[in-house]
Amino acid sequence: MEKKEIRVLALDLDGTLTNDQKVVTPATRTALDAAAAKGVTIVLASGRPTAGVVPLAQELGLDKKGGCILSYNGGSITDCATGRTLYSQWLDSKYVPALCAFAKEQKVAIVTYNEQGVVSESPEDPWALKECFTCGLPMQRVEDLAAYVDYPICKMLITLDPARRDEVLAAGRKVFEGKIDLYPSSPFFIEAVPLGVAKDVSLAGLLEEMGLTRDNLMACGDGLNDRSMIRYAGVGVAMQNAEPPVKEAADYVTEADNNHDGVAEAIEKFIL
């Protein structure tokens, strides 16, 4: 693989940048600091809501070093230093009741977000609670989610037993074909986002604004929702713990997994 000048580093969080305890280890932090010192812009690229990424961005010093939060799987990009939204795409409000009805029919939980955290009609659902753990935000119970959401949202999230993921996904794609996009982001999550929203699309917009091309981008991920940015990037990296189709999409698969500094390995190899 020819050497590319990496100027932007896009990192999925869960299962990639963070270990299974949702922590960025010291070795990975050191590698990130070294990349930032070389002038590389770090983009935390996650399905989480923006509020669920801000604490990690601050912990990594991106508010001072510069960097971006790509949240909602590409629905929004925020500049960490200024807090300015650089890009956003909202889910058409007419699909909120339709998605809630679909989840009820399938007997699975569905959540979305307000400024405080995660909102759901099923706050005790174990799969819905995984989203609170993932993004470090509290759960709020609402009686009627469709009626509650009277403000713009970037996405909804169907949470379910992994044994049912593929079957529910197939049913949802039939119902919402040509209206919104549904795709899995973990064994127990299905993202519901506006048509065409994906990590690669918003990264392309960001690179254009920076006067850079995809050859200047390295992207690291592990989930099916990371495939688009891994394929798009000049250097696409899959973690050792990635799902098989993600590894197939990558230019490089790390020897280490997310619990053993796979991201640091990729930074050492391609940036430092």
- The pLDDT of residue 65 is 87
pLDDT tens per residue across span 121-157: 999 999 999 999 999 999 999 999 999 999 999 999 9
pLDDT of 233 higher than 90:
yes
**Alpha-carbon span 41 to 68, nearest angstrom:** 8
* CB of 203 closer than 8 Å to CB of 212: no
* DSSP per-residue string spanning 79-94: ETTT--EEEE-PPPTT
**Alpha-carbon span 220 to 227, nearest angstrom:** 9
pLDDT of 177 higher than 80:
yes
**Alpha-carbon span 229 to 16, nearest angstrom:** 14
- The pLDDT of residue 235 is 98
pLDDT of 1 higher than 80:
no
Residue holding tokens 């909804």?
A: 156
Q: Indicate the pLDDT class of residue 256, thresholds 50, 70 and 90.
A: very high
- The pLDDT of residue 4 is 86
pLDDT tens per residue across span 81-100: 999 999 889 999 999 999 99
Measure Cα distances from 127 to 11, 121, 122, 142, 163 in Å: 24, 13, 10, 17, 12
- The pLDDT of residue 87 is 87
pLDDT of 166 higher than 80:
yes
Residues of the chain with pLDDT > 70, as a percent, come to 99
Q: Indicate the pLDDT class of residue 3, thresholds 50, 70 and 90.
A: confident
Using alpha carbons only, what angle is made at residue 220 by residues 139 and 164, rounded to the nearest 5 degrees?
50
Angle between helices 26-37 and 262-270 (to 10 degrees): 30
**Alpha-carbon span 234 to 252, nearest angstrom:** 11
Average pLDDT on 110-131 reads 96
pLDDT tens per residue across span 28-61: 999 999 999 999 999 999 999 999 999 999 999 9
